[in-house]
Amino acid sequence: MPSYQSLNLANKLQLINEHWSPRVIAEMNDYQFKVVKLLGDFIWHDHQDTDETFIVLDGQLRIDFRDGQVLVRQGEMYVVPKGVEHKPYAEQEVSLMLIEPRGVLNTGDAGGSRTAQNDQWI
């Protein structure tokens, strides 16, 4: 018999102790739902093959673009279109959910020390 149980986002976020390290909490078709905590500045990057959805659960996220920026507050979301270079920034800690296809690297093709391992479940 299947087990029917909802996921508690706050409980999942309590299991995360580091910043910029997304953790998968669910999958739908080929998409992953990830929770992550952010603090400080990230790197410029893009995702050539997919859009990326940011849903702020707590705090305020700024996403910089080469020609502007957007503020995403608690309870809001923003979709970065594929191929658009962007750089997330959190002045204070932000908790958010990312929705993106399985296998997408958080740093796109930019690489570097901020690249998180994929498929880390909590």
User: Do residues 88 and 44 lie in contact, with contact meaning Cβ atoms separated by under 8 Å?
Assistant: no
Can you say whether the dihedral through the CA atoms of 16, 87, 97, 10 is positive or negative? positive
Look at 54 and 111; give whichever has higher pLDDT: 54
What pTM was estimated for this model as a whole?
0.92
Residue 64 is predicted with a pLDDT of 98
Query: Residue 107 pLDDT more than 80?
Result: no
Mean of pLDDT values over 61-88: 98
Mean of pLDDT values over 36-54: 96
CATH 2.60.120.10 for domain 9-101: yes
Residue 61 is predicted with a pLDDT of 98
